[in-house]
Amino acid sequence: MKVLFNDKINITIHLEEKKLREIDKLAKIFKISRNKLILSSIEYAIDNQGFLDSLFQIMLVSEKK
């Protein structure tokens, strides 16, 4: 029996229209797809723990307001 693993899984995320427009502008500047920009950003966040720590702190502060 042969088991095939797909290393990519389709997901759905919900973004504000404003954020999506910003992503599209950046993707156009870098001449890459919206999907590639989002994936690269996620990979960067995962690979850079300091970034995640900073993001977590920002989220904590915004929730307290």
7-60 pLDDT, tens digit each? 778 889 999 999 999 999 999 999 999 999 999 998 888 888 787 788 778 878
What is the pLDDT confidence band of residue 6, given thresholds at 50, 70 and 90? low
Q: What is the pLDDT of residue 58?
A: 82
Q: What is the pLDDT of residue 35?
A: 94
pTM for the whole structure: 0.65
Would you say the C-alpha torsion 58, 63, 64, 65 has a positive or negative sign?
A: positive
19 class by beta-carbon count within 10 Å (0-12 exposed, 13-18 middle, 19+ buried) = exposed
Dist CA 20 CA 22 (whole Å)? 5
Q: What is the pLDDT of residue 2?
A: 61
